[in-house]
Amino acid sequence: DAEKAAAQAKAAEKKDKPKFGGGGRLKKKSQGRDVKPTERMKEKVKIGKRGSVHFTASARPLKVTQADGNNIDDLIREVRTGAKNWLIYKYENKKEIDWLVDGTDGLDGLLANLEEHNPNYALLRVDGADIGMDRERYVFIQWLPEGTPPMLRGCINAHRSPIREIFDPFQFEISAETKDDITLDIIHRGLKGKG
């Protein structure tokens, strides 16, 4: 009986730990609050004097600017739980990204706001009914428009891992050069079987 009780206690303890994988929930059940992306990455980021997020474990320096109340934690939470269903971050220069825009008009709105000549990162919430699934899914989009300079592409490749981690969890990832690479059909095929 003591072994059974110990096994049950261990299982309960494991159940209460937050899950951070590609389909896990971002909840610390024991504390009853959302886990912020910067909080779960606290070993890899440093918060600057003006609130910017500096990735300290990145192969190349990367700063996420958080000016004018555009906090990355709050913006991502709004896409996951609020009225917004997408957001876009843009490159300011080779070392810095900043919030560009967010919206409520789904894939069409996101596509309309991708910058034609500047790389962007986006997070899209897809309603399950739109793709024949029972619940919503998240798509991470790396936008590298044709003509992106090779030096900037090198920086983007070095930044890909920390950026993916801050937008995690998501169920599908698209790296696109044209808007034809980002369609509901492509998203549906990518998510098929991940139900």
The CATH number linked to 132 is: 3.40.20.10
Q: Is residue 34 part of a domain?
A: yes
What tens digit of pLDDT does each residue of 99-119 get?
Answer: 999 999 999 999 999 999 999
Q: Is residue 110 part of a domain?
A: yes
Q: Is residue 109 part of a domain?
A: yes
Domain range enclosing 67: 18-191
Q: How would residue 9 be classed by pLDDT, with cut points 50, 70 and 90?
A: low
What tens digit of pLDDT does each residue of 147-157 get?
Answer: 999 989 999 98
User: In the chain, how many domains are there?
Assistant: 1
Q: Is residue 176 part of a domain?
A: yes
One-letter-per-residue 3-state SS of the chain: CHHHHHHHHHHHHHHHCCCCCCCCCCEECCCCEECCHHHHCCCCEEECCCCCEEECCCCCCEEEECCCCCCHHHHHHHHHHCCCCEEEEEEEECCEEEEEEEECCHHHHHHHHCCCCCCEEEEEEECHHHHCCCCCEEEEEEECCCCCCHHHHHHHHHHHHHHHHHHCCCCEEEEECCHHHCCHHHHHHHHCCCC
Q: How would residue 38 be classed by pLDDT, with cut points 50, 70 and 90?
A: confident
Please tell me which residue, 28 or 46, carries the higher pLDDT value.
46
pTM of the model: 0.77
* CA dist., res. 135 & res. 129, Å (int): 7
Q: Is residue 113 part of a domain?
A: yes
- Say which residue the tokens 């709050």 belong to: 74
The yes-or-no verdict on residue 131 having pLDDT over 90 is no
Q: Is residue 182 part of a domain?
A: yes
Alpha carbon dihedral 38, 161, 104, 98, in 10-degree steps, equals: 70
* Window from 33-47, 74-88, 141-155, 177-191 with minimum mean pLDDT: 33-47
Q: Is residue 90 part of a domain?
A: yes
Most confidently modeled range among 73-77, 109-113, 190-194: 109-113
Query: Average pLDDT, stretch 166-189?
Result: 94
Q: Is residue 183 part of a domain?
A: yes
